[in-house]
Structure 1
Amino acid sequence: MSDIVRTYLDTWNATDADARRTLLEAHWSPTVTYTDPMAEASGHDGIDTLVGGVQAQFPGFVFTPVGEPDAHHRQLRFQWGLGPEGAEPVVVGFDVIVLDDRDRITDVRGFLDRVPS
């Protein structure tokens, strides 16, 4: 399941639009839904737009895993950090990911544990 987390975070960190689209098409269901306290998105286009918006809001920041993922059946949860590479994360949250029968990300529920004021 840590491969899913790595692929998920690679998508959020992909600043090249073509590379991000390749990750979305290979590892995310076309009908994916994403919900967190600040955003809702669906489909590859919606996720692509959301990721681009977060990258614009936090230029140069990267998502990194925090701790180990916890998984059972077709779902997993994990904590992540967002901040300058190699530095303490500015934002910390956790996501719950549900996979479809082809092991593609089909649903994401995000929660924010620490956000800057």
Structure 2
Amino acid sequence: MTDVTELADRYIEVWNETDGDRRRALIAKTWGEDGAYADPAAVSNGHDGIDKMTAAVHERFPGARFQRTSAVDKHNDRIRFGWELVAADGNTIVAGVDFGTVAADGRLASITGFFGELAEAA
């Protein structure tokens, strides 16, 4: 059985790793070969796509760090957790919720990210 909190924390660690070699090693440990990521700003597939996407975030927001802001919920092969991206000055750049699927080998198969709070019902 996968420790989903450890998996989510390693996923956050991928986002925070600025050294390309260490980041690629973390991606291989955390993501399945065909891992798929989608949020309102990016879509990436496979280890190379995920690596390029995370490197681009470091270029756009130098010194910023991701952190998990909630417990990790799990049912079946699904997980969800809150997160935020915090600038070097301590201000939150963006926050959201990620929903993921965990593959049989315990690595991530997919993550779908949403930014911001849920909209109120009409």
Same fold (TM over 0.5): yes
Equivalent residue in structure 2 for 1:90, among 88, 93, 100: 93
**Cα shift at 1:85:** 5.2
Question: Once the two structures are aligned, what percentage of the paired residues are identical?
Answer: 32
Distance 2:88 2:76 in 1: 32
Q: 1:10 to 1:87 in 2, by over 3 A?
A: same
Write out aligned runs for 1:27-42 (5 A): 27-42=30-45
Decide which of 10, 18, 22 is 1:15's aligned counterpart.
18
Whole-angstrom distance in 2 between the partners of 1:17 and 1:40: 19
Structure 2 residue aligned with 1:113: 116
Find 1:72's aligned residue among 62, 67, 75. 75
For residues 110 and 14 of structure 1, the distance between their equivalents in structure 2, rounded to whole angstroms, comes to 19
Q: Which residue of 1 aligns with 2:52?
A: 49
Residue 84 of structure 2: aligned partner:
81
**TM-score (ref. length: structure 1):** 0.92
> In structure 2, what is the Cα distance between the partners aligned to 1:86 and 1:69?
27
C-alpha distance in 1, partners of 2:72/2:89? 21
Q: Whole-Å Cα distance in 2 between the matches of residues 41 and 78 of structure 1?
A: 20
| Number of residue-to-residue matches in the alignment | 114
Q: Which runs of 5+ in 1 are unaligned?
A: none
CA distance in 2, matches of 1:87, 1:8: 21
Greater share of strand: 1
Displacement of 1:110 after TM fit?
0.6
Q: Which consecutive residues of structure 2, in runs of 5 or more, have no partner in the other structure?
A: 118-122
